[in-house]
């Protein structure tokens, strides 16, 4: 049985005080929920204070990116070791905004994934096709490339620390959610890929989150699909009550 995991990706939003206020509001709304793993992912500058506010709660914390070195002359980058130091258990890697706005490649993401896992972080690894790729019949080819190249070389033990987030780019921040059937089709395809590459045990155990305009109103029908194991939530995660509504819908 795969435990549902719901993460809020706050993207480039919230000053320190706003981040802390959001988790202070969230804590009582999800207190006692133990059937869902809950993660919030603030900006780097809010991590330390947010981690302090989350201490002792059932909410974990993730960063939105991490680099491939532990320290050194890499101006502007952040090491996984530094994220662990401020209380992160997780990092998001391969978000579509990093792939398509910041130009991160499958090979670079594979390097980031290995480095983060070896440092002791768990990873939400994002994949997903653009609208033109879906309309051009390329969805399966894109997911195949992103999984094959992005997760190359992972061991069975490393896979226990990885969650896949399927986020069709056309559904991110657009209000246009994938239908439960579309999500299930892509998730089942992705699980099949993992099975072919890494075997049935890894494929059965790995959790696949859906992301793209998830809200309280559509969470229940999406999570009801057998291959949908959680959510990566953007816009609706910014407010404690709308994020808690998604957690409750899935709990």
213: three-class secondary structure by DSSP: coil
Which residue in this structure is represented by tokens 């005080």? Answer: 17
The residue from 97, 129, 133, 167 that is catalytic is 167
Q: How far is the CB of 157 from ligand PGA (least distance, A)?
A: 27
Closer to ligand PGA by Cβ: residue 46 or 218: 218
CA atoms of 3 and 87, how far apart (whole Å): 22
Three-state helix/strand/coil letters over 134-161: HHCCCHHHHHHHHHHHHCCCCCHHHHCC
Which C-beta is closer to ligand PGA: that of 51 or that of 234? Answer: 234
For residues 205 to 244, the per-residue mask of contacts with ligand PGA, x marking binding by CB under 6 A and - elsewhere, is: ------xxxx-----------------xxxxx--------
- Whether 95 is a known active-site residue: answer yes
Nearest to 234 by CA among 22, 6, 10, 4: 10
Which is nearer to ligand PGA, 65 or 213 (by Cβ)? 213
Q: Provide, rounded to whole angstroms, the least separation between the CB of residue 97 and ligand PGA.
A: 7
Residue 141: name the closest of 171, 106, 178, 177 by CA: 106
State the minimum distance, in angstroms, from the CB of residue 98 to ligand PGA: 10
E-only strand ranges, the chain: 4-9, 36-41, 59-63, 90-93, 122-127, 162-166, 207-211, 230-233
Report if residue 9 touches ligand PGA, rule: CB under 6 A: yes
46 in contact with ligand PGA (CB under 6 A): no
The count of residues interacting with ligand PGA (CB under 6 A) is: 13
Let me know if 21 is exposed, middle or buried by CB neighbors in 10 A (0-12, 13-18, 19+).
middle
| Nearer CB in complex with ligand PGA: 192/216 | 216
Residue number closest to ligand PGA, CB atom: 234
Given a contact cutoff of 8 angstroms between Cβ atoms, the answer to whether 8 and 40 are in contact is yes
Q: Does 167 bind ligand PGA (CB under 6 A)?
A: yes
Binder among 173, 179, 204, 220 for ligand PGA (CB under 6 A): 173
* Residue 155 tokens, joined: 């061991």
Give yes or no for residue 42 binding ligand PGA (CB under 6 A).
Answer: no
Catalytic residue numbers read 95, 167
Q: Where do contacts with ligand PGA occur on this chain (CB under 6 A)? A: 9, 167, 172-173, 211-214, 232-236
């Amino acid at each position: 049985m795969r435990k549902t995991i719901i993460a809020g990706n706050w993207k480039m939003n919230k000053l320190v005080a706003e981040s802390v206020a959001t988790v202070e509001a969230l804590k009582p709304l999800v207190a006692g929920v133990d059937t869902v793993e809950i993660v919030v992912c603030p900006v780097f500058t809010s991590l330390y204070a947010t981690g302090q506010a989350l201490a002792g709660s059932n909410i974990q914390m993730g960063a939105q990116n991490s680099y491939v070195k532990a320290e050194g002359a890499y101006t502007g980058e952040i090491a996984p070791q530094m994220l662990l130091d401020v209380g992160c258990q997780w990092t998001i890697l391969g978000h579509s905004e990093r792939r398509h706005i910041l130009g991160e490649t499958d090979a670079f993401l594979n390097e980031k994934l290995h480095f983060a896992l070896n440092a002791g972080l768990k990873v939400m690894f994002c994949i997903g096709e653009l609208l033109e790729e879906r309309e051009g019949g390329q969805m399966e080819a894109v997911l195949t490339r992103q999984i094959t190249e992005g997760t190359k070389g992972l061991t069975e033990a490393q896979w226990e620390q990885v969650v896949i987030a399927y986020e069709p780019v056309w559904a991110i921040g657009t209000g246009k959610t994938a239908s439960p059937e579309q999500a299930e089709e892509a998730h089942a395809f992705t699980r099949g890929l993992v099975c072919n590459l890494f075997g049935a045990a890894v494929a059965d155990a790995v959790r696949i989150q859906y992301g793209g305009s998830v809200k309280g109103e559509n969470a229940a029908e999406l999570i009801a699909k057998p291959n949908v194991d959680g959510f990566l939530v953007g816009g609706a995660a910014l407010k404690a009550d709308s994020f808690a509504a998604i957690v409750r819908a899935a709990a």
